[in-house]
Amino acid sequence: MAKTSLDGHWRGIAVVTAALRDAGMEVVYGGQLTPKEILASAIHEDVDVVGLHIGGRYGSVKEFMDMLHQKGLGNVVVVAGGTIPPEDIPLLQQMGIAGVFPPGSELDKIASFIRERVRGQQGAK
């Protein structure tokens, strides 16, 4: 889990991080990181999923997604949350974001989405 921008909105990512841990997932919280730092952490931790708090920084998201694919890690599931206008969700999906969870998303649905995607990825290996 990482934030792509410096803003005062930290509560959502903290709540989602705790919910995923409570759902039995191992979660690494990186805080505010650059796209390069997020990628380095993902590689170091050998993650199945990267969760991003976008904070309106779509350029950072695109940069991260491009680097992820350049490293041959296109199988990593990337999910995103934050204050995201509904009309921007297709743009994020085109970048390769598997799931977009704006404020008000149900925590159990986020966990279920991640579990299903990771199982699907593991079955494809």
pLDDT, tens only, 37-60 = 999 999 999 999 999 998 777 889
pLDDT digits (tens, 9 = 90+) for 75-105: 999 999 988 899 999 999 999 999 999 989 9
Q: Write down all domains in the chain, each with its CATH number in brackets.
A: 2-124 (3.40.50.280)
b/e map of 11-46 (b: 16 or more CB within 10 Å)? ebbeebbebbeeeeeebeebebbebeebbebbeeee
